[in-house]
Structure formats: C-alpha cells, structure tokens
A and B are shown apart, each in its own frame.
Chain A
Amino acid sequence: MGMRERIIAILVNNKPGVLSRVAGVFGRLGYNIESLCVAETISPEVSRITSITNADSDFIDKVKKQLNRLVDVLDVTELVPGQSAQREMILIGINLDQKGRTEIVRSIGLFDCKIISMRNDYCIIQVAGSREEVETVINFLKPFGIDKIARTGVLALRYKDSVS
C-alpha cells in the first residue's frame, strides 16, 4: 500500500488514437496522470509512453492488466527508482531586470543548466537532470520571478541488468 509516484513505461503501436485509448484506461480506473512523455522509439512504428501517477501499489497490477487488453499496447513495465535512470528536462522563462540578469548569468553555472535565449528583459533556461536536481533549480530561480515553465515529465529507462 502507500501512495507514491509510480512510473510506467508503455510500448505502443505508433498509430492515431492509441494515446487516447491508453489515457482512457487511466481515467476509467480513476487515476490521474501527473506527467506523460510520448515519442517514437528506434523503430518508428513503436512509441514509448512514460507516465507518472500518484497511486497505491494496487495501481500497477490493475493498470497493467487493463492496458494489456488494448490491442495496440505491446508492453507495460513499471520502472522502479533504484533500477532505472530517470531524467526530466524543463524550460523556464524568467522576466529580468538589470540586477537579476547579472545574478543569473553569474550563478547559473553552479547548476547543470544552460541559458538558451537571453534578451534584455527575458531569458529562457534549460535544465535537465533528475527530479531533485530540476526541483533545486526551480526553487533557486523562483525569487527571480518565473514567468512560464514547460516540463517534459520524467523519462526513464531500466538499467540493463536489473530484473523487473
């Protein structure tokens, strides 16, 4: 039992409507999708969906079985923290004044991030890393006045040797 973040990787046929079938399963079981990443894999006819849901342990079994009923779902695996690499990327837009601008340029090097656009009054910063790293940067930048934020949601891959 116990609610926590559960990461699920779903391999599906890369076809129209498949995502809505997958999302429908979560919805019908009453689960909210906290984050979702979808893109094609090395074979373009297959897509990988990575999703996060806050749920108890029943969730994995239920959602796996229901997802596996879908014809276009090829595989469903839970990705457990210690046994998989997990990364997230975000873009953060910040409104700047002169002072903030200097400070950001000076301190941003402390973190693993990049300024990808810089204008007099606005910049966009790219951050990539683990959930914690990304959160740390967001917290650091909050006082500067974050205007907008876009997150990929977590991507994860299982380490090669770990057994599921």
Chain B
Amino acid sequence: MEKTGAEILLQTLREEGVDVIFGYPGANSLPIHDSLDESPIRHYLVRHEQAAAHAADGYARATGRVGVCLGTSGPGATNLVTGIATAYMDSTPMLVLTGQVTTELLGSDAFQETDIIGITMPITKHSYLVSDPGEIASTVKQAFGIARGGRPGPVLIDLPRNVMAAKCEQSGVKNITIPKKRNARRKKDGGELQRIANYMNMSERPVILVGGGVKLARACEELTGLIEKGNIPFVSTMMGIGSVRSSNGFNLGFIGTHGNELANRIVHDADFILTVGARFSDRSTSIVEEFAPLATIAQIDIDPSSIGKVIKADISLVCDIREALTTLTPLAERKGRGGWLSRIEKERNVLGKDRSMKECGPAGAFIRDVQTAMPEETTAITDVGLNQIWTVRSWETRTPRGMITPGGLGTMGFGLPAAMGVKIGVPDHDVVVFSGDGGFFMNIQELATISYYNLPVKIVVFNNGHLGMIRQIQDLFYGARFNDIELGNKVDIVAVAKGFGIEADRVPVEDPGAGIEKMCAAGGPFLLEVLVDPDTYVFPIIPPGRSNIDMIGGRQG
C-alpha cells in the first residue's frame, strides 16, 4: 500500500514503542502534524521548542525509553539545540525530529532553512538527512538503535517537507544493522574482571565510584549486590545519585565541587577505587593530579572514549556495566573491612553526622519537609544553581530514576519542562521540581503547557531575587563585587502563576506553615514560591583551582 513519508515515519515510531512526542509545528513539519491526527501517538504542544527537547529528555530519564521531540526547520530546529546538548552531555537516549525545507531548496538559503545537522554535529551521537521516503523506516530504526545502544545519546533526523509528503510503496523493514566497527572495541573480558576483583579483595581501603552509567545500564541492583557483599563504601558523581538508595549505609555522598565533604575526603584516602559508569568530569575530580592520590584506579565503562580520557586508570574494561558486575560480584570476597569502615565512621562523626543536611540550611530542611509530605514514589527534578545542590544533597533518593538533574551541561531552564516530560512519562508518580527564580524565568512559558494539559506537577521556586550560585561565587572569589546578578523582586510570581491558571502560594523558607501541605494536596499543578535570603549559600565548596579535599566553609562553616 502507498503511504506518505510522514505516515511511514509515525508508523515506524509506533513500532519502536513511541507513545508521546513533544513538539511545535511549522510549515516544514506540517506533513507530520497532519498525519499525527491518525496516529495513536500523543503530541504535546509545548510553548518553546527548547522545552520540547527538555521534556523529551525528562521523559526518557524517568522511563528509560527513548524520548522524542519534534520541531520545524530553521528557528524551530535551532531552538532545540540547548536541549539536545543537555541530553548529549548526560547520555539521554533521545530522537530529535526536525522539519526541513524541500530537497530542491536545500543549500539555497531558503526561508527557514538552517543546516541543523551541521549545527548539532558535536552534540548528537549521529544524524541523518532523509532524502527518499523509502529510507524513512530503516533510518528511524537505525536511529533508535544508536540512541539506545552503547552509551546512549540524542540522534537527529532531518526531514525535508517534500519527503514527508511524498507517497511511496512501503516495504517492510526487516533487520536493521548499525554499521559495525571493524575491530569492535567492545572487548570481551580478558581476565580484567578477575584482576579488578583481586585488587578489590586485597585492598584495605576500597571505594566504589558510581556514575550515571550505572542507571543507564540498569545495573543498580547488581551494584548494590556488590557493595553489600564486599562491604565496600561508595561515593557517586552527581549523575550517579540514585543508583543505590541514598539511605544505604555504605553511601558516603557525592564527590566534587559541590559534593559532600565526607565523600571527597574518603576518596582521597582510598587505596583502591572501582569506577563504574563515570567519566571523571572536572566537576567531580577538581585538580586531576590531586584526585585520589593513593588509589589504584579501575574503570569499567561501555564507552571506550570515557576510559583514560581524564584519569589514566590502572586497569580498565570496556563492557556493559551490568554484565561486568554480574561477573565481578561472585569474584568479590566477603570482607569485614572493620578498620576501614570504622575509620570512615570516625570521619563522619568529626564532620557531624547529618552535616551535609545542615549545610544546605533552611532550604535543605524545606526540601526534606516536602519529601516527607509526598509519597514514597516521588520523582524530584532540579534546575541549576543553588537550588540544584540543595536538592541533590537533601532529597533522599530511593529509586534509580527518582532524581533528575542536568549535571553535564548545567542547563538553567531545564527543570520545569523536564518535569512535564517526567509527569507524562510516569503519570502514577508524584513529580516535584525545584528551581531558582533565574532558571524558572528561563522557561516560564511552560506554565502555559502545564496548565493547558492540567499536568499535576508541583513546582517549587526558591526566590532569592538573585542568580544565587553566581552570587556565591562573586561573594567568595570576586571580592563580593555583585555585578549583574540581581533579578529583583518586582515580579509577583504567585500572581503570574495564577495568571497562567495555576494555583500558587508564597511562603518564607524558614516557616512554610501550611504551604507544603497545600501544595501536596492540590489535585492539579501547584506552584509554591519560597522566599530565600540571598545570602543563603551552599557550603562547603571547593574554590576554583583547588583539590577535592580543599573544601572551604566545611568544618567551621
């Protein structure tokens, strides 16, 4: 039977399990929207394409499925860019569909033509320009394979309007092969795991460093198994949070600039570090030469380019993390590790048992109160800035997908649209997003989307009238010269929310009164504006150019 390119596209998306697309139409994507009418796929109309990309990203992080977003050519496509880069940095599987001018106009600077493939080359895993409707099905299937495979990431398909409108005899697509590397990099274990196990078993002060790759590989249970069998304490990167329940007794917190002091100190003392699914970003390691100076480092990752890029591991293995852990755990000896664990406990006591909680001040206490008031299966999303650090440090993450934060790109404006995607992806879960006023304003238009679809998302906006995290940096490291960071308090955020049709309330952070309950009880979306003193910062913090154990404002602060 003859079908249009758009129909083939949507049918193939269905076959790949797509139920939701976040998008925004334009002339060059219209054939797709025209056919969406007849597809069971639901289309959510956002208010800005950046939000479509973040929503697809949030959807993917919350469900583990590939998120799909759609924009038209030109400005629609360029508006997606920040969202694509965010997904790329955090390895989110995502399919980005862009309309494009007709094939005969390509390269002519036609109206709304941009070379979106060229623009996104460094921030996509791969991209395709489809020039023949007969190629659509196989291209889409390949794209899904690439987006999900190995280290996941965004794949873009650029779809010229005439190719979407053209009819073609659809031939069933059978097996799709993704081009194989000649000497496939994915080595089989050649004894590395046994050697890693030997190091681990012999080490006196082992630590496991958990990255975001563990969740992506769905290896959380396997990891917990290894930790508990070997009595091995663990730290995580910000992206690794949630891989193991944060209340697990072996959890030392997360490392790096805004991390937990205990985690940073223990990594410094460790004699062996098993790194799983982490890429040693500069936020995690600070000064590379001074990172874990005493440790033998083992690294397991699916992505060969993450190995040895920053820190030369003493022993490494390119492998699926779940497979690796399944083999490794039986090789790990049950050990008491009494000395090491009691040393860590001592350190924990010196630092103060629940210090990392107190460090986040009244905002941290507020976040914990919100969590207490919400159901167990609640997903927390953060924006970027102080609000992000307060949240990742104060929220007790109970499930692998329970905390969603844009760690790699640090994209302000991520939170609100990502929360929409999360709510749509896991409608049974409660969803709360914590944002600063700055980041909230960056995609504030999405209140309209939330209101239109009546998405019951809880929105917490910490309003300190400033770009708080930047203010802290200016305060500490730029002689308290507060330039260009004041947002002021002239905007009545509660009234704005109400104007969008969203219930809202305003409370001071120290005394939220009934505000939290009101938010939790709301049946629809609810915005809680939380007034915070602009001098409320995050401590301890590592000054620029210093190592992970040089946290300031820690013990004293």
- Cα-based distance from A71 to B126 in the complex (angstroms): 7
- Of B117-125, B367-375, B403-411, the one contacting chain A is B117-125
- Of A16-24, A105-113, A131-139, A152-160, the one contacting chain B is A16-24
- Of B78-86, B303-311, B418-426, the one contacting chain A is B303-311
Question: Contacts A68-B185, A71-B126: A20 and B178 contacting too (C-beta < 8 A)?
Answer: no
Name the one of B122, B304, B307, B308 contacting A28, with C-beta atoms under 8 angstroms.
Answer: B122
A75 touching B182 by the CB < 8 A rule?
yes
Residue of A nearest to B142 (CB): A71
Name the one of A20, A28, A61, A66 contacting B118, with C-beta atoms under 8 angstroms.
Answer: A20
* Cβ contacts under 8 Å, B183 to chain A: 75
Q: Indicate if B146 sits at the interface (CB-CB under 8 A).
A: yes
Q: Which of B155-208 contact A (CB under 8 A)?
A: 178-183, 185
- Cα-based distance from A74 to B180 in the complex (angstroms): 7
By DSSP majority rule, is chain B's interface helix, strand, loop, or mixed? loop
Question: Contacts A17-B117, A21-B121: A68 and B178 contacting too (C-beta < 8 A)?
Answer: no
Q: Indicate if A69 sits at the interface (CB-CB under 8 A).
A: yes
Q: Which of A60-87 contact B (CB under 8 A)?
A: 61-62, 65-66, 68-75
B146 touching A65 by the CB < 8 A rule?
no
Name the one of B122, B182, B308, B309 contacting A74, with C-beta atoms under 8 angstroms.
Answer: B182
Question: Contacts A28-B122, A65-B304: A71 and B179 contacting too (C-beta < 8 A)?
Answer: yes
Name the one of A28, A65, A74 contacting B179, with C-beta atoms under 8 angstroms.
Answer: A74
B179 touching A68 by the CB < 8 A rule?
no
**Shortest Cβ gap from B335 to chain A (Å):** 35
Q: Which of A92-137 contact B (CB under 8 A)?
A: none
Name the one of A13, A17, A68, A75 contacting B305, with C-beta atoms under 8 angstroms.
Answer: A68
Question: Contacts A71-B179, A75-B181: A65 and B121 contacting too (C-beta < 8 A)?
Answer: no
**Shortest Cβ gap from A79 to chain B (Å):** 15
Question: Contacts A74-B181, A74-B182, A75-B183: A68 and B121 contacting too (C-beta < 8 A)?
Answer: no
* Cβ contacts under 8 Å, B118 to chain A: 20
- Cα-based distance from A79 to B386 in the complex (angstroms): 50
* Cβ contacts under 8 Å, A49 to chain B: none
- Cα-based distance from A21 to B129 in the complex (angstroms): 14
Question: Which of B303, B304, B307 has the most CB atoms of chain A within a 10 A radius of its CB?
Answer: B304
* Cβ contacts under 8 Å, B185 to chain A: 68
A61 touching B179 by the CB < 8 A rule?
no
Q: Which of B519-545 contact A (CB under 8 A)?
A: none
* Cβ contacts under 8 Å, A71 to chain B: 125-126, 146, 178-179
**Shortest Cβ gap from B300 to chain A (Å):** 16
* Cβ contacts under 8 Å, B129 to chain A: 16-17
By DSSP majority rule, is chain A's interface helix, strand, loop, or mixed? mixed
- Cα-based distance from A65 to B121 in the complex (angstroms): 17
Residue of B nearest to A65 (CB): B305
- Cα-based distance from A73 to B309 in the complex (angstroms): 20
**Shortest Cβ gap from B93 to chain A (Å):** 14
- Cα-based distance from A17 to B182 in the complex (angstroms): 20
- Cα-based distance from A75 to B178 in the complex (angstroms): 14
Q: Which of B86-121 contact A (CB under 8 A)?
A: 117-118, 121
Q: Indicate if A7 sits at the interface (CB-CB under 8 A).
A: no
* Cβ contacts under 8 Å, A75 to chain B: 181-183
Residue of A nearest to B304 (CB): A65
* Cβ contacts under 8 Å, B122 to chain A: 24, 28
* Cβ contacts under 8 Å, B126 to chain A: 70-72
* Cβ contacts under 8 Å, A74 to chain B: 179-182
Question: Contacts A20-B118, A21-B121, A28-B122: A68 and B182 contacting too (C-beta < 8 A)?
Answer: no
Residue of B nearest to A73 (CB): B181
* Cβ contacts under 8 Å, B309 to chain A: 62, 65
- Cα-based distance from A24 to B305 in the complex (angstroms): 16
Q: Indicate if A11 sits at the interface (CB-CB under 8 A).
A: yes
- Cα-based distance from A16 to B130 in the complex (angstroms): 12
* Cβ contacts under 8 Å, B304 to chain A: 65, 68
* Cβ contacts under 8 Å, A70 to chain B: 126
Question: Which of A61, A66, A69 has the most CB atoms of chain B within a 10 A radius of its CB?
Answer: A69
**Shortest Cβ gap from B464 to chain A (Å):** 37
A11 touching B146 by the CB < 8 A rule?
no
**Shortest Cβ gap from A56 to chain B (Å):** 15
**Shortest Cβ gap from B157 to chain A (Å):** 13
Question: Contacts A61-B308, A66-B305, A68-B304: A11 and B182 contacting too (C-beta < 8 A)?
Answer: yes
Residue of A nearest to B182 (CB): A75
* Cβ contacts under 8 Å, B305 to chain A: 65-66, 68-69
A68 touching B308 by the CB < 8 A rule?
no
**Shortest Cβ gap from B91 to chain A (Å):** 12
Residue of A nearest to B149 (CB): A71
Question: Which of A11, A28, A74 has the most CB atoms of chain B within a 10 A radius of its CB?
Answer: A74
- Cα-based distance from A74 to B185 in the complex (angstroms): 11
- Cα-based distance from A16 to B103 in the complex (angstroms): 14
A13 touching B179 by the CB < 8 A rule?
yes
Which A residues form the contact surface with B (CB < 8 A)?
11, 13, 16-17, 20-21, 24, 28, 61-62, 65-66, 68-75
3 smallest A-B Cβ distances: which pairs? Answer: A75-B182, A65-B305, A71-B126
Residue pairs across A and B with Cβ atoms less than 8 A apart, 9 shown, are A11-B182, A13-B179, A65-B309, A71-B126, A72-B126, A73-B181, A74-B179, A74-B182, A75-B181
Given contacts A65-B307, A68-B181, 8 further A-B contacts (CB under 8 A): A17-B129, A24-B121, A65-B305, A68-B185, A68-B305, A71-B146, A71-B178, A73-B181
